Amino acid sequence: MYHLTRKLFFCLLSSISIYLINTTTTTLAQPPFLHHYCENAANYTQTSTYQRNLNATLTALPTTNNGFGFYNLTTTQGNDTVNSVALCRGDISPDACRSCVNDSIVNLRQICPNQKEATGYYDNCLLRYSNKFILGSTRISLYHFRQNRQNSTDVDEFNGYLRPLLTKLRGEAAAGGPLQKFAMGNTTGPGFSTIYGLVQCSPDLSEIQCSDCLENIINRIVLYFNGKVGGRILVPMCNFRYETYRFFNQSARVIRPPPPPPPPPSTPPPTPSIPGATTPPGIKNNTTQITIIITVVVIALVVIFVASLCIFMRLRKKKRQTTPPLTHENGHTETTNISTAESLQYDFITVKAATNNFSDENELGRGGFGTVYKGMLGNGNRIAVKRLARGSDQGDIEFKNEVLLVAKLQHRNLVRLLGFSIEGSERLLIYEFMPNASLDQFIFDPTKRTIFDWEKRYNIIKGIAKGLLYLHEDSRLRIIHRDMKASNVLLDEHMTPKIADFGMARLFKTEETQGDTSRIAGTYGYMAPEYAMYGQFSVKSDVFSYGVLLLEMITGQKNQYFQIGESLEHLLSFAWKSWRDGTPTNIIDPALKVGSGSMHDIIRSIHIALLCVQENVIDRPTMATIVLMLNSFSITLRVPAEPAFFIRSNTSPEMPLLHEYSSRSRSSQYSMNEVSISDFIPR
Ligand SMILES: *[C@@H]1O[C@H](CO)[C@@H](O)[C@H](O)[C@H]1NC(C)=O
Ligand SMILES: *[C@@H]1O[C@H](CO)[C@@H](O)[C@H](O)[C@H]1NC(C)=O
Ligand SMILES: *[C@@H]1O[C@H](CO)[C@@H](O)[C@H](O)[C@H]1NC(C)=O
Ligand SMILES: *[C@@H]1O[C@H](CO)[C@@H](O)[C@H](O)[C@H]1NC(C)=O
Ligand SMILES: *[C@@H]1O[C@H](CO)[C@@H](O)[C@H](O)[C@H]1NC(C)=O
Ligand SMILES: *[C@@H]1O[C@H](CO)[C@@H](O)[C@H](O)[C@H]1NC(C)=O
Ligand SMILES: *[C@@H]1O[C@H](CO)[C@@H](O)[C@H](O)[C@H]1NC(C)=O
Ligand SMILES: *[C@@H]1O[C@H](CO)[C@@H](O)[C@H](O)[C@H]1NC(C)=O
């Protein structure tokens, strides 16, 4: 008993001190943003006009509420202009809105201490300031999305319910008028579920701008979180969110279209009173005499209260330590538990034994960077081991760092790099093992290819596109594959395509010496002309290779050995001629013609492939657009021009070429467990 009392006493003391600390620090510590962005292109200096202007603007901004949670203030002094806007979610009470804007102002200034332009998003509001014009601007430079981890059971069914809801809300919000463009609602979902949706535009957008902005981000559902039961995309001037639970205040006052006379802005919405919470269950001051029993009861209640408070605080503390904020939401797969390169390091002897001393019968394949062996670890786990050819100039530390970075690239459509091993000049990369070998062994095999109907091929085509998009856009490293081809796509037991050999240029760095046959290579026939001829590569050279691969999937024939009747013709030129002459079905694999695949979809895929292999780099779509085009049949495709035909010389088709290499790290202003995509609107 004494022990318990003492514990309670200390707990009481510590709760009081925690309370004190909390109250003294509330004005300093704002909750973290969901996402923020500091534009590093333009900075101001301390005590500059811009800083003075910014201080004045942000101080006055909270007073400019238009009555519906939209704040805007522009201040010009000298030749420096500061534009600022804040926008609260439409269902938020005025009090919560004010405090959110207040928090944003303090927080954003701390996070972006000297940038002229910055944006911060909270659940309830966003704040933005810039030296450039903001009002009415629709330029989107960054999409931020967050997704619910949970998958829906049937993607198409789920989207079938979700899409009409969001379309309806989009129309409502766009028609909301100059004060507020916000809509929320629900619809029945699959089974007995309900899908809740919320959309909002900055009210300075016109109706059409708002509608376009929302359409643009809603179209990205298939791109960023197709099949998830919840998600949101935030851009500065519009956003949406959907979940299968109610996350908004349904009874909030919202402007409904049509709003013939818009309510006068001078009447702010009434401050809501929180029912119940403000009336404390005070002890009635009766004239009854105070008995010892009451005292005991009161003491007992206090003790119970303190005890439960302590338990609650502990639980909360525990919860805080183990779960990140917004536990139901998922940044992306980039969060890994890998903290050091050492945790990825495998013992060389073990790996050597696992591959039976790199025996020939364990050899899976040979590529420019080395030989791949299959292996089995002591615990029965199967692995694939790439034994790098000697000749990398990378130091051990640099190699480890690169492995660490590449191992963080995790995506359903990428072969996973599990670790590495170093011994002297020997370097091994350890990958997950793929039982079904590579795509070329199926698609170019006359018998195996017949089991690949259009549906299977289309899933593979889409999977590869998503994997490449992840490499290009999603990860903090911008990885250009540079050797995208059928043999670099592995299939797992469910025929899910996984891209192999990405990031090799990082893992196998060679000094650019004069004309030495380096192993950093592309493959003839898949290479974009600018890459093959001038060694210039970009994400668009991967797009070119993807287009060739797509045509191979449709024709079932290798690019280099495309056969029509007796003659060999280049796949691209034949595809183009067939397309131009209005006979695109000529190039379709006969096995597909008898299947159930829609001829229309197949021809559309030929169309996409032809856009990918355009000679002019800027005419090729990005992977983001390709994924959109593959998933949404409502997107109209441009008419392709004649593609680039790469004239093959007499060299062996798989011969590697020498190319310069450079790798670009993307700016690391985003935290690892959030997903941000820098992506411009596809046209
Ligand atoms: C602005 O400041 C940030 C750091 O505060 C820096 O990373 C960035 O390079 C600066 N930009 C320019 C253009 O000087
Ligand atoms: C602007 O505000 C920051 C802190 O909010 C302060 O450090 C700085 O001195 C102010 N600058 C001017 C010019 O008032
Ligand atoms: C802004 O004004 C200052 C002096 O007032 C001048 O030196 C500077 O060039 C001006 N900047 C621009 C962009 O006009
Ligand atoms: C934010 O709120 C605090 C107290 O609630 C107040 O002292 C401060 O002035 C506010 N800041 C702004 C920028 O409005
Ligand atoms: C959702 O699906 C993805 C890929 O299909 C899978 O990796 C993930 O574990 C699934 N999430 C849940 C919560 O089942
Ligand atoms: C769906 O929204 C309507 C109002 O549009 C509301 O009356 C109803 O209660 C909502 N249903 C659920 C399940 O929340
Ligand atoms: C922005 O503020 C200005 C001046 O306070 C006001 O005239 C204008 O209507 C506001 N714009 C919007 C879209 O609310
Ligand atoms: C929801 O909005 C109504 C109307 O503004 C308000 O009275 C109520 O307190 C809000 N509920 C919550 C949970 O914020």
Q: What is the pTM of this model?
A: 0.49
Compute, in angstroms, the gap from residue 51 CA to the centroid of ligand 1.
15
Cβ atoms of 573 and 433 within 8 Å: the answer is: no
Q: Which amino acid is at 25?
A: T
DSSP run (H or E) holding 605: helix 599-612
Q: Is 462 annotated as a binding residue?
A: no
First-to-final CA distance of the chain? 74
**Of the bound ligands, which one is closest to the alpha carbon of residue 248?**
8
Tell me the CA distances in angstroms from 334 to 409, 419, 503, 633, one per residue in order. 6, 16, 15, 30
Separation of alpha carbons 381 and 379, rounded Å = 6
Q: Give the pLDDT score at 68.
A: 94
Separation of alpha carbons 618 and 640, rounded Å = 12
Backbone phi and psi for residue 376, each to the nearest 5 degrees, phi listed first: -130, 125
User: Which of the given ranges, 104-108, 137-141, 432-436, 515-519, has the highest pLDDT on average?
Assistant: 104-108
Tokens linked to 587: 């190039």
Tell me the CA distances in angstroms from 613 to 526, 602, 646, one per residue in order. 10, 17, 10
The sign one gets for the Cα dihedral 156, 675, 29, 326 is: positive
**Of the bound ligands, which one is closest to the alpha carbon of residue 185?**
6
Q: Which residues line ligand 8 (CB under 6 A)?
A: 93, 249, 251-253, 272
- Tell which atom from ligand 2 comes closest to the C-alpha of 55: 1
Backbone phi and psi for residue 225, each to the nearest 5 degrees, phi listed first: -150, 55
483 counts as catalytic = yes
Q: Give the pLDDT score at 305.
A: 57
Separation of alpha carbons 201 and 216, rounded Å = 12
Is residue 187 predicted with pLDDT exceeding 80?
Answer: yes
Q: Measuring from atom 8 of ligand 6, which residue has the nearest CA?
A: 186
The share of the chain scoring above pLDDT 70, in percent, equals 71
Tell me the CA distances in angstroms from 3 to 7, 52, 660, one per residue in order. 6, 59, 72
Q: Is the CB of 43 under 6 A from ligand 1?
A: yes
Tell me the pLDDT band of 297, cut-offs 50, 70 and 90. Answer: very low
296-315: average pLDDT: 54
pLDDT, the chain, mean: 76
**Of the bound ligands, which one is closest to the alpha carbon of residue 44?**
1
Is residue 261 predicted with pLDDT exceeding 70?
Answer: no
Count other Cβ atoms within 10 Å, centred on residue 84.
Answer: 22
Q: Measuring from atom 9 of ligand 3, which residue has the nearest CA?
A: 79
C-alpha of 348 from chain center: 35
Count other Cβ atoms within 10 Å, centred on residue 304.
Answer: 10
Cβ atoms of 587 and 595 within 8 Å: the answer is: no
- Tell which atom from ligand 7 comes closest to the C-alpha of 64: 5
Q: Give the pLDDT score at 182.
A: 97
Of 483, 542, 589, 679, which is the active-site residue? 483
Picking from 219-233, 371-385, 456-470, which range would have the lowest pLDDT averaged per residue?
A: 219-233
Classify burial at 449, counting beta carbons within 10 Å of its beta carbon; exposed 0-12, middle 13-18, buried 19 or more.
Answer: middle
* Secondary structure (3-state) at 135: coil
Is residue 422 predicted with pLDDT exceeding 80?
Answer: yes
